[in-house]
C-alpha cells in the first residue's frame, strides 16, 4: 500500500510540474506577444517592392511572415522605450473594420507635420514654412512620382498631436491614408490619421520564407 501511495504521489507531482511548465510557457508567450514582439503575415501588394515580392513580381496573396516590435506602443507614464519615426513600417488595426483586420504601411507624417500630396509627389513643410520634396528611396520606378490624392489633384494633411499619417509603398495599389484606409474613400466620419492605440508596432524583420529573411533597418527618410 505504501509503494502504491508513493507511486501515485510521484505521478501527481510529475503531472503537476508539467502543468506548471505549460502555464509558465503560455504566460511568457502572451507577455512577449503583448508587450515585446508579435508575428504577422503580409497580405497583398500594397507594400511592394519592400514586402511580398516573389521571383521579381509583386505577390497578391498571403506572403511573407514578419516580426513586429511593440516597444514604441508602450505607455509608461507617457514614456516608451522607442518612438516611431518617419520612414518606419508599421502594422496597425484598420480604423474602420472588424477587430483583427490589420494593415501594413509606412509612416510618412508625424504629429505636427504638414504633408502635401501634389503632382504625384509627397511634400513636407519645413521649419521655414516651405514645402520640400520628401525623399522616398523605398519607392520603385512604377510608384515614384505616382502618389496621387483620392478624387483630387492636390491634398494637404495636418497631422494632429499624438497621431500618424501612413502610406503604402505601392502607391498605385494601396488603400492608405489618402482613402482613410477604406475602399470607398474618406467620409465625414472617417480620418486619414492613425492613433497610437491602433498601432501594433514597428516591423523589424522578415522571418519566413527563409530565403527572404532580412532585417528592416531604420533609415532617416527626412528631407
Model pLDDT for residues 149-203, shown as the tens digit of each residue: 988 889 999 999 999 999 999 999 999 999 999 988 898 889 999 999 999 999 9
Residue 220 maps to a domain: no
Task: Say whether pLDDT at 131 is over 90.
Answer: yes
30-34, 76-80, 112-116: which range is least confident on average?
A: 30-34
* CA within 13 Å, CB half, 128: 4
Residue 74 maps to a domain: yes
Q: Which residues pair with 115 in a beta bridge?
A: 124, 157
Residue 48 maps to a domain: yes
Interatomic CA distance for residues 169 and 71, integer angstroms = 23
- Residue 3, CA distances (Å) to 11, 80, 108 in order: 12, 57, 71
What digits encode the pLDDT tens for the residues 140-159? Answer: 999 999 999 988 889 999 99
pLDDT computed for residue 7 by the predictor: 66
Average pLDDT over residues 57-64: 95
Q: Which residues of 182-210 are buried (b: 16+ CB within 10 A; e: fewer)?
A: eeeebeeeeebbbebebbbbbbbebbeee
> Which of the two residues, 24 and 49, has the higher pLDDT score?
49
Q: pTM score, two decimals? A: 0.88
Residue 223 maps to a domain: no
Residues 115/165, Cβ–Cβ less than 8 Å: yes
Task: Say whether pLDDT at 130 is over 60.
Answer: yes
Computed over every residue of the chain, the mean pLDDT equals 90
Task: Say whether pLDDT at 129 is over 90.
Answer: yes
Domains held by the chain: number: 1
Q: CATH number of the domain at 127, please.
A: 2.10.109.10
Residues catalogued as catalytic: 46, 105
Expressed as residue numbers, the domain containing 112 is 2-215
Task: Say whether pLDDT at 212 is over 90.
Answer: yes
Task: Say whether pLDDT at 217 is over 80.
Answer: no
Residue 221 maps to a domain: no
User: Where do we find the cell 491634398?
Assistant: 155
Interatomic CA distance for residues 194 and 175, integer angstroms = 14
Q: How confident is the model at residue 223 (pLDDT cuts 50, 70, 90)?
A: very low
Residue 222 maps to a domain: no
Task: Say whether pLDDT at 71 is over 80.
Answer: yes
Amino acid at each position: 500500500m505504501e509503494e502504491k501511495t508513493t507511486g501515485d504521489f510521484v505521478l501527481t507531482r510529475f503531472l503537476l510540474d508539467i502543468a506548471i511548465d505549460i502555464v509558465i510557457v503560455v504566460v511568457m508567450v502572451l507577455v512577449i506577444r503583448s508587450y515585446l514582439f508579435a508575428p504577422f503575415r503580409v497580405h497583398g501588394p500594397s507594400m511592394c517592392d519592400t514586402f511580398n515580392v516573389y521571383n521579381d513580381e509583386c505577390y497578391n496573396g498571403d506572403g511573407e511572415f514578419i516580426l513586429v516590435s511593440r516597444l514604441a506602443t508602450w505607455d509608461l507614464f507617457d514614456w516608451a522605450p522607442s518612438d516611431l519615426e518617419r520612414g518606419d513600417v508599421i502594422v496597425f488595426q484598420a480604423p474602420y473594420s472588424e477587430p483583427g483586420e490589420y494593415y501594413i504601411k509606412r509612416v510618412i507624417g508625424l504629429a505636427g507635420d504638414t504633408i502635401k500630396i501634389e503632382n504625384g509627389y509627397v511634400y513636407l513643410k519645413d521649419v521655414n514654412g516651405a514645402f520640400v520634396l520628401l525623399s522616398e528611396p523605398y519607392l520603385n520606378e512604377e510608384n515614384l512620382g505616382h502618389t496621387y490624392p483620392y478624387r483630387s489633384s492636390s491634398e494637404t494633411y495636418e497631422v494632429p498631436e499624438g497621431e500618424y499619417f501612413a502610406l503604402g509603398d505601392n502607391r498605385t495599389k494601396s488603400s492608405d491614408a489618402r482613402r482613410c484606409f477604406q475602399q470607398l474613400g474618406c467620409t465625414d466620419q472617417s480620418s486619414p490619421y492613425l492613433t497610437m492605440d491602433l498601432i501594433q508596432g514597428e516591423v523589424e524583420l522578415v522571418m519566413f520564407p527563409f530565403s527572404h529573411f532580412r532585417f528592416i533597418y531604420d533609415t532617416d527618410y527626412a528631407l
